[in-house]
Amino acid sequence: MTDKVFLDPHQLAERWGAGPRIARVANWKVSGKGPRFTKIGGSVLYDIEEVEAWEKRRTAQSTAEYETWED
């Protein structure tokens, strides 16, 4: 059995580098625009598999493909 890997919001923002700041990650969580998350107690956790699936859905070949995405 493989152990699940989770990221907290700070780790998620760090994964994406200089792009999204922690505030944007939080806004995406509230608005439902970011990856699916799990909340346990007071902690928000992002399953790495959900993050990777979300990133894959946002992969584009040209800027025309992502101009309509909402951030």
Question: 29-48, pLDDT tens digit by residue?
Answer: 999 999 999 999 999 999 99
Domain ranges within the chain, ordered by starting residue: 6-61
- Which residues on neighbouring strands pair with residue 39, listed in sequence order? 44
pLDDT of residue 61: 82
Strand order through the sheet with 43-47: 6-7, 43-47, 38-40
* Residue 7 in this model has a pLDDT that exceeds 70: yes
The pTM assigned to this predicted structure is: 0.79
Distance CA 29, CA 39 (A): 11
Written as six digits, the tokens of 12 are 């998620």
* Alpha helices, H only, 5-59: 9-15, 22-31, 48-57
